[in-house]
Amino acid sequence: MELSEFGKNNGQPDDDLTPEEQYAKGLEKDKAGDSRGALAWFEKAAAQGHVAAQEHLDDMQKYKMTQSRYDELQKELDCCRPQPMVWAAGNADILA
C-alpha cells in the first residue's frame, strides 16, 4: 500500500480522485487479494453514485452472506453425521 494513497486522510481513500479512479483502485486492491482495501475504495466510489462500484459492493455482500450460511450448514452437518463405528476385538465374528 502506498503512502500517497492513504496518507492524507487518516487512512481513508483520498477525496481528490474521481469515482471512476476510486473504482479502478478498488479493482486493483481486489485483484491483489486486499479485500479491506478494495472495500474502502468501492464504498467511496459507490457513495458518489458509481453504479459498477455499487454492484460490486452488492456482490461482495451476497458472497459474504452465502459464505456465512455455508459455514453454518457445515457446522450443522458435522454434528449430525454418523460417527464411524469402532469394533471391539470380541466382535470380529460379526464381520465374518
Q: What is the pLDDT of residues 8-42, one digit of tens each?
A: 555 555 568 999 999 999 999 999 989 889 999 99
How far apart (Å, rounded) are the C-alpha atoms in residues 70 and 78?
Answer: 12
pLDDT tens across 54-83, in order? 998 998 888 888 888 888 888 877 776 666
**Alpha-helical regions (H) of the chain:** 3-6, 19-31, 35-47, 51-80, 92-95
Checking if the pLDDT of 86 tops 90, the result is no
The residue among 90 and 27 whose pLDDT is bigger is 27
